Each structure stands twice: as C-alpha cells, then as structure tokens.
Structure 1
Amino acid sequence: MSRAICDGCGRPQSACLCSHLIVRQLPFELVIWQDPDESRHPLSTTPLLQRSSPGAQLLVGDTFSFTDVFGEALPENVALLYPATGDSEILALGPAAGINKVLVLDGTWRKVRRLLLLNSWLEPLQRMSLTPVQTSRYLRVSPRADGVSTLEAVLMLAAEWTSDASYLDGVGVLDRMAEIQAIKRSE
C-alpha cells in the first residue's frame, strides 16, 4: 500500500508542509532545470519551490537546447543563477540589463556541473551570483561554504532583485521540514 500524498505540497501527508508554504509571485520568470537523479530525492526543495512560485517552469533531464528551455526568448534577456567562473560576467542582481528570465540548475554540485558540461550553450549565458549572509537552513549539507538549496537561492535572488526581504519568509518551510525529520528520527 502506498503512502497518501498531500495535493498541496506533494509530500507524504504525514510530513505535509502546506502550513509553512508561502505562495508568492516572483519578480522574474523562473525556469528550474532539475537533474533526473535529484527529481527522485525525497528531500528535494524544487517541488516546494515550484508550488510556491506561480508560473515557474520545471524541466527534468540531462540535455536541452536554448530553444527547448526558452523558446523564442533572446539570450540577452536570460541569466543563469550560478556562481561565476573566472571568466564569466556577473550581473548586478535586479532587473538591470533587460533580464526577465532566470534559469536555476537543481541537483548536487557534482550533478549541476555535469549539466553545464553536457550543455555548452549554458556557458556563455550571463550569470547572477549570490553571496549568502547566513548558512543554509536545508537538511542536506553542501560541500561549499556558500551552498544553499535551490529554494533558498531563488528566494534570496527575489529578495535582492526587489529589495524586499519578505521573500525570505518562504525559507521557513525548510525549518518545518527539519522539525519533521527530527521527529521521525526520534520515533
């Protein structure tokens, strides 16, 4: 017999996060590209991000073309939310330079780097990078000191984009996720 799944948050009903999920329109069009392995991870934040961000587009796969992801959009209107490499240009956060679409890659750092290598068209995209001011509240530990979950990264970007820190209230769902996991471990 399979577990009952909540229609609101997509989690098992015994671990429902709906009461802590804040639905809010982002100030940019969001495309989430998820590694196939990450799509099967039970603690992935992408389903929560997609449910809390009306209009967010989710793609799961290893390879796509620019047109598969953005259709007829111009590359200069798209930015990749990802730490900058040595020669990549970092954009100021916000709607500067006509950016209205943001692509975020979701998966472990190793899997995300793999997506970058498999899809060479990602490399020349303009980049937006974050400098988190607090450590991640996500249950899974990142090998990077500045590593945060996909949910946290997108909400941080929205807060900086609009100068509206209330976007960060949406990260509270991760605290509830941690509480539920702690209860399960103690049982």
Structure 2
Amino acid sequence: MTNPFNTLRDRRLAEATREFHARGKSVVRCPTCQLAQYACICPYRPELSSRNEFVLLLHRNEVFKPTNTGRLIADALPANTRVSCWHRTEPEPELLALLADPQRHCCVVFPDDGDGPSQAHAPLADPLQHTTFLLLDGTWKQGRRMLRLSRWLDQVPRLTLPDALVRGYAVRKSLHEHQLATAEAGALCLALAGETAQSETLLDYFSLFNLHYKATRGCCPAPLGDLHQRLLRKRG
C-alpha cells in the first residue's frame, strides 16, 4: 500500500522551485525510509492494522526531514493514516470535513496547558470505539505555535497522554517530560486505546529507526540484534 507520507513528500518535491538538501546531502539514501542505503529499515517495516486512525498535521519544514518520525506511523499503518500540511488560515477542506464528521471521535494529541477543551486522561471506555488522533508533527515549539494559531482546531478536544504512560516509556531526553517524538506519541495513543500489540511494535520500529539513523550519521551499517529479529518475526 502507498505510504501517504511519501506521497505528500513526492508532491511537495514536484512543486518545489529549488532543490532541497538535507544534512548529509552526500549520503545515498533509500527513497522510501530516507536513511542511508546501507542502513535501510524497509525490510523491517511492520504491517499493522488498527480500529483507530491518525492524522499527521505536518509543519512545512518536516516534509523533507530525514529525521521525521511521523513517517513511521504512515509506514506501519498506511491504511489508517492521513497526512496533511499545516496552514494557519487555509486548512485543506478534506481535513476540515474529517474533523467535523459527527461519526468520528477526533482529538488533538498535545499536553494540556489550559488553552483549550481537554479530553479525559483515562483509557477509552468503549473498546470498539474508533478514535482519530491528530498529531502535530513538528518541533515542540512549532507544535505549540500550530495549535495556538489554528483557530479551526479550537473546538477539537485535546488529548493529554497520562503521566504514567509517558513516564513508562522514554527513549529520548527532552527539555520537558511530556515531549515525545511523533512516532512515540502515536504508539502511546495506541496503548491508551487498548491496542497494546500495535503500540509495542510501533515502538520497536521507532527504536530501530533511531539505531539506523545513528548508523547513517556514523557512515556504517547498523549492528543486527534482537530488535531486528523481533520485527522480522512480526512481519512473517
């Protein structure tokens, strides 16, 4: 199935008026995972299904970044992921229609700072409930700005991931304890929705991405280990 993130990236590349150069532009990258060819993670990409879905609302700077982790959600859950570029005053009509759909349970995943309506922090009560998680995909500063300036998001409930859930999984150091990579946030949303197996697999895929990204920066293949074997077994 087509990865919706890569579809957006290809469209933006076709529209671009100048060539984009990522850090390490001399690296020969896999066109799909954007890591060095010798560190490609495509053979380990999980194939997941979910009763829930994600909307990745990307800051324009994120589309071309090889460090972006939102793409991992689109990789693993292509049928359950929608991708849209953020615009302060002119959001895509399809996105507005999705958020206004009375048949959907939508929420913006972001820490509660008192600026908007907040969702309960407990696991979703109905195990059959379908939830649309909207993830603001950018730096922490960009995400806060996107939320603050998007008046069309004012009426969408905000979901704050429970402290215990966030503290129970921490791969990276961040300036604030609630700061998570987009893929981490997506995995914890699945855990909150009761989809533990999908959550654990997405977290494994995120950990693998980190390992192979370090290998790309170090100009050497990533060492194979239990993480690789675990993801291969889940594919098989």
- Per the normalisation by structure 2, the TM-score is 0.66
In structure 2, the residue matched to 1:112 is 143
Classify 1:144/1:57 alpha carbon distance in 2 versus 1 (closer, same or farther; 3 Å).
Answer: same
**Counterpart residue identity of residue 85, structure 2:** V
In structure 2, the residue matched to 1:134 is 168
Moved over 6 A (4+): none
In structure 1, the residue matched to 2:203 is 171
Following the alignment from structure 1 to structure 2, what is the Cα–Cα distance between the partners of residues 57 and 24? 15
Q: What are the residue-to-residue correspondences of 1:17-166 with 2, within 5 Å?
A: 17-55=41-79, 56-63=81-88, 64-65=90-91, 67-71=93-97, 73-74=100-101, 77-86=105-114, 88-91=117-120, 92-94=122-124, 96=126, 100-131=131-162, 132-138=166-172, 141-162=173-194, 164-166=196-198
Structure 1 gaps, min length 5? none
Following the alignment from structure 1 to structure 2, what is the Cα–Cα distance between the partners of residues 175 and 43? 13
Q: Using the TM superposition, give the Cα deviation of residue 135 of structure 1 relative to its aligned residue in structure 2, in angstroms.
A: 4.6
Q: Using the TM superposition, give the Cα deviation of residue 2 of structure 1 relative to its aligned residue in structure 2, in angstroms.
A: 7.1
Classify 1:180/1:30 alpha carbon distance in 2 versus 1 (closer, same or farther; 3 Å).
Answer: closer
Q: Using the TM superposition, give the Cα deviation of residue 136 of structure 1 relative to its aligned residue in structure 2, in angstroms.
A: 3.1
- Per the normalisation by structure 1, the TM-score is 0.80
Classify 1:41/1:7 alpha carbon distance in 2 versus 1 (closer, same or farther; 3 Å).
Answer: closer
Classify 1:9/1:26 alpha carbon distance in 2 versus 1 (closer, same or farther; 3 Å).
Answer: farther
Q: Using the TM superposition, give the Cα deviation of residue 125 of structure 1 relative to its aligned residue in structure 2, in angstroms.
A: 1.1
Classify 1:29/1:35 alpha carbon distance in 2 versus 1 (closer, same or farther; 3 Å).
Answer: same
Following the alignment from structure 1 to structure 2, what is the Cα–Cα distance between the partners of residues 35 and 95? 32
Following the alignment from structure 1 to structure 2, what is the Cα–Cα distance between the partners of residues 166 and 77? 20
| Count, aligned residues | 185
Structure 2 gaps, min length 5? 1-24, 221-236
Please tell me whether Structure 1 or Structure 2 has the larger radius of gyration of its CA atoms. Answer: 2
Could you list the per-position Cα deviations for residues 59-111 of structure 1 after superposition, in whole angstroms to 9, with x for gaps in the alignment? 12333448441425436731111112325322344265x66322111111110
Could you list the per-position Cα deviations for residues 134-154 of structure 1 after superposition, in whole angstroms to 9, with x for gaps in the alignment? 35325xx53211211111111
In structure 2, the residue matched to 1:185 is 218
What's the C-alpha RMSD, in Å, of the aligned pairs? 3.0
